[in-house]
A and B are shown apart, each in its own frame.
Chain A
Amino acid sequence: MNKITPVAEAFDLSNYINSQESKSFLRFLTCGSVDDGKSTLIGRLLYDTKLIFEDQLAALEKDSRKHGTVSDDIDLALLVDGLEAEREQGITIDVAYRFFSTEKRKFIVADTPGHEQYTRNMATGASTADLAILLVDARNGLLTQTRRHAFIASLLGVRHVVLAVNKIDLVDYDQTRFDEIKADFESFSSGFDFDSCEVIPLSARFGDNVTTSSDKLSWFTGPTLLEHLENVELGHEHSEAAFRFPVQWVNRPNLDFRGYSGTVRGGSVNVGDEVVVAQSGKTSRVEKIVTMDGDQVRADDGQSVTLTLTDEIDISRGDVLAPVHSRPDVSDQFAAHLIWMSENAMLPGRPYLLKCGTKTVGASVTEIKHKVDVNTFDHHAAKELSLNEIAFCNLALSEVIAFDPYEANRDTGSFILIDRMTNETVAAGLIWFGLRRATNVHRQALDVNKKARGGLKGQKPAVLWFTGLSGSGKSTIANAVEQKLLSLGRHTYLLDGDNIRHGLNKDLGFTDADRVENIRRVAETSKLFVDAGLITLVSFISPFKAERQLARDLLENDEFYEIFVDTSLEDCEARDPKGLYAKARKGEITNFTGIDSAYEAPEAPELHLKTQGRTVESLADEIVDRLLADGFIGSDNTWVI
């Protein structure tokens, strides 16, 4: 038994503390479905290791009478099902972390729900786990979800798995049944590259073989679950890896001290070691390793320290320090597995933020290579990715970052994607390889530039981005603006939604994914036209904020005019110049903006044109006046900026 040692007469605290200190540490996750008894198993581990206090036990007895699903005795699951809502539903809906320790080890348990829609939670729990317990009901044996759990554990780099065959009491502690399940599991788990795979029979409800071996399972010669958790050998994850130090914070208390604070993510570093700033290629040597407890000569994996270097080189948050002879990949494109975690689908081309280590950059998925069926592991083609789906993708970033393959380093090989509008974490990513070495591909620096081209035309190039519902008057107004600019002797080009769809974008339809790609191409095209020195008018419904933001981000700060042509849906539908609303209402056109596809109105457009009661002429004048006022075109034929 693993009881907390009572304080004896001659309790030796320093001995005790030392024994605590030498304890190792295991983080594991439990996965299984609602009915497999997962919460009961964790409750059992806490209960049997005496981690439940008297007042908690009293609350538990009270709760068991109120919510319990077990008839007479206390319901251990209630110990761990935290939030009120799920207690009432009788399911676990989020990752919960539990703590217990024995004489040998200290444990952190990530308790993750197992049914299909919660792949997200399991991936979260697995990202920090050394070991996964896959729980099955002895009556049911392996289920589809067991395969899914094994796959996700393996994908996230969990090295050890335990198949816990629970509710063995309900099959009368039958060895034959257990052996069947074990054989099943061994045949399919051999396809994964786990360091250890243990199959253990138990009853969480009655405590058989959880922390103590059971007479009823005398035929079983293996360890109890807890014995296995206490004894499984863990390799030191990153101690063999190359030194990596993502800079978190530049430490400048005064002019005489310039340090770089961060956590060592792999390997170790010594005073005097030569290091390189991966992104810039600048090198220096470690001068000091500073901590509040005194300078160190060496810092190991996992240590949070502050480094000073012998040279003054430019380093900021997000830079990665590494050994000169063993550098991480540096690129703005890579291939990675994405686990999609948002209710809103991932659309290739849509701009997201990517956080890898301490660096956050713009990113988008350029291609979904294939989607992975988590039940059969088959690969499928896909145009978008929904909640809890996993896909292998190519990503392109707004600037180069330093990274390693996930296999080599869980910290420098992982990232999250963040939605730019809602700020939610929408995906977890595991990097496989860089797609090209950015160091080998330099952007051509051209002598004739945008400013020169614009100067020749006596104007400062810009994009006038007209957005609004179909029939709101975008193209009509854009046309009028272009005529006025032409009469002022300006050089323009109008990119019109309908016209572009006849040519450049004729391969695209009207699904969300195609709409994103449609806008991405137009945004890139308008960027080229601006570079050519033109005042570029873009007339596209462009219903999604994220894509308008993408267009804005491609251009320089003051080059982008978002012009919201604000005509109510009723007015647009009443006008219906192309008869499209009528068709959409009849269901002859689907995904029609305003009818069965959303229009996200701009929150802070540069120009907000309320068209009600105004003439095309006055609206066009308003735009031209704004360009004059902002100095994009001179009132005479000389460039004012």
Chain B
Amino acid sequence: MGIDSQSHLRRLENESIHIIREVAAEFDNPVMLYSIGKDSAVMLHLALKAFYPSKPPFPLLHVDTTWKFKEMISFRDHTVEKYGLDLIVHTNEEGVKNNINPFDHGSSNYTHIMKTEALKEALTKYKFDAAFGGARRDEEKSRAKERVFSFRSASHGWDPKNQRPELWSLYNGRIAKGESIRAFPLSNWTELDIWQYILAEGIDIVPLYFSAKRPVVERDGTLLMLDDDRFRLEPGEKVEHRDVRFRTLGCYPLTGAVESTADTLEDIVSEMLIARTSERSGRLIDHDSSGSMEKKKREGYF
């Protein structure tokens, strides 16, 4: 499906490409965080466009908590091979040694150690001075004020009161040694834009986004998929095979499925249009309190 050159999707695309190139041009050692989800898929697609016919001049970084869906990992490896990209996979080995998992340690603790800490560890280890993330301003209230170039201190902290004003399309990429930025090229996209763009550009996404019969249990009103035999059933819980799909992807014990029969992109977009629940509600970590995303960001979560 072609897109008109002045359409809003093209405008978003052009803006994102501009941002991605600015980062590549102004930073010594950028990296693209690749979470394997649909936003990452769009971001990677834009990076491929930004530098064509060159390859993106930076590696991808995947923070692997060891609890990702199996299909995510195989999709990741396939994508990297297909485009001949550099991939760095980082896991918090200390966390693995201590068997930190979402069942025993609570979603918030687990996320902090296996995602937030792991990410900081990787950024420090490789001395990245800029990291692309796929966050959008429409996702959550505290994201609405996020800058495109979001400045982080040497300890990866985010100070909401100390962010640089961003005017026109001029981004300030100056940092001192040890400091870094997070760059969000998808800032102005909405969830619907993402899906429309995937549809229009024919971008490959992880099959988990499409409906299929999958083994799930219902827990506290959320449908959780049993991706491997590490999943612990609680007394009385029974595994059912239902037609489900995922609107957002993460660690399988923390990612809620939705009942759906949408098994094509067209169906997914159609379903989006009548959706009455926002995307992040599928992520269990946000449920603690309404300021929880902001707290996580101050600690260094993306």
Contact = CB atoms under 8 A, between A and B. Distances in A.
Interface stretch (A20-28, A277-285, A390-398): A20-28
Interface in A116-167: 120-121, 123-124, 127-128
Given A22-B7, A82-B141, A84-B291, A248 B18 contact: yes
A534 B141 CA distance: 62
A21 B5 CA distance: 10
Nearest to B167: A127
A97 B137 contact: yes
A292 B48 contact: yes
Interface stretch (B32-40, B67-75, B92-100, B266-274): B266-274
B137 to A, nearest CB: 5
Given A94-B145, A414-B168, A425-B165, A304 B270 contact: no
Contacts of B277: 53-55
Given A25-B11, A84-B291, A248 B25 contact: yes
Contacts of A62: 290
A82 to B, nearest CB: 4
A508 interface: no
B155 interface: no
Contacts of A355: 170, 172
A253 B270 contact: no
A4 B191 CA distance: 15
B14 A248 contact: no
B168 A410 contact: yes
B274 A82 contact: no
B290 A63 contact: yes
A17 B1 contact: yes
Given A21-B3, A304-B14, A99 B22 contact: no
A261 B281 contact: no
Given A62-B290, A290-B53, A410-B168, A263 B14 contact: yes
Contacts, number: 187
Given A7-B274, A97-B137, A410-B168, A423 B21 contact: no
B24 interface: yes
B227 interface: no
B170 A83 contact: no
Contacts of A81: 141
A358 B25 contact: yes
Given A263-B14, A263-B17, A4 B164 contact: no
Interface in B1-60: 1, 3-11, 13-14, 17-18, 21-22, 24-25, 48-55
Contacts of B157: none
B213 interface: no
A408 interface: no
Using C-beta atoms within 8 Å of the partner chain, give the interface range for chain B.
Answer: 35 or more
Contacts of B11: 25, 302
A484 interface: no
Contact of A80 (B13, B17, B141): B141
B150 interface: no
Contact of A292 (B18, B49, B163, B200): B49
A439 interface: no
A303 interface: yes
Contacts of A97: 137, 144-145, 187-188
10 contacts: A5-B273, A80-B144, A82-B143, A97-B145, A253-B55, A261-B21, A317-B25, A355-B172, A410-B168, A425-B172
Interface of A: 4-7, 11, 13-14, 16-17, 20-25, 53-56, 59, 62-63, 79-85, 87, 93-99, 101, 106, 108, 111, 120-121, 123-124, 127-128, 248-249, 251-253, 257, 259, 261-263, 290-293, 300, 302-304, 306, 317, 341, 353, 355-358, 410-411, 414-416, 418, 423-425, 428
Interface of B: 1, 3-11, 13-14, 17-18, 21-22, 24-25, 48-55, 137-138, 141-145, 160-161, 163-170, 172, 174-176, 187-188, 190, 196, 199-200, 266, 269-271, 273-278, 281, 290-291, 294-295
Given A253-B54, A418-B174, 6 more contacts: A17-B1, A54-B276, A248-B25, A304-B49, A317-B25, A416-B172
